[in-house]
Amino acid sequence: MKPTTEQIKQEIEKLKELAPVIRQTSAFGTNNRAAIEAQIKVLENLWDNDEIYDHYDHAGIDEEALDAAIGAQQWLDGEHDVDTLSEDWEVLRQ
């Protein structure tokens, strides 16, 4: 089910609150904060896959951030396997 405009706004706020308090780097050396920032950009701009690739392709972004952006777009389309994107980030809260 696609999120409502209000749900999108709420999720953006949750992600913005989490960004500064999650672990900066994953155990695999990836930048968690870049990934969450990518999700915020997708939600704020309502980007589709083409816009995500236009923005991030060849921009030096790591694969995990690109995957996170695509996951945010899937959530917008109601195709993601979680109710909210922020629930995945909660476990990384410091």
Compute the Cα dihedral for 6, 86, 2, 12 and give only its sign. positive
- For residue 89, give Cα distances in angstroms to 53, 55, 63, 74, 80: 23, 23, 17, 16, 15
Helix (H) or strand (E) holding 75: helix 63-76
Least Cα distance to 85 among 29, 35, 50 occurs for 35
> What is the pLDDT, as a whole number, of residue 48?
93
Q: If pLDDT is split at 50, 70 and 90, which confidence band does 29 have?
A: confident
Least Cα distance to 92 among 28, 12, 13 occurs for 28
Q: When comparing pLDDT for 75 and 60, which is higher?
A: 75
79-90: pLDDT as tens digits: 988 889 999 898
Average pLDDT in the chain: 90
Q: What is the mean pLDDT of residues 41-60?
A: 86
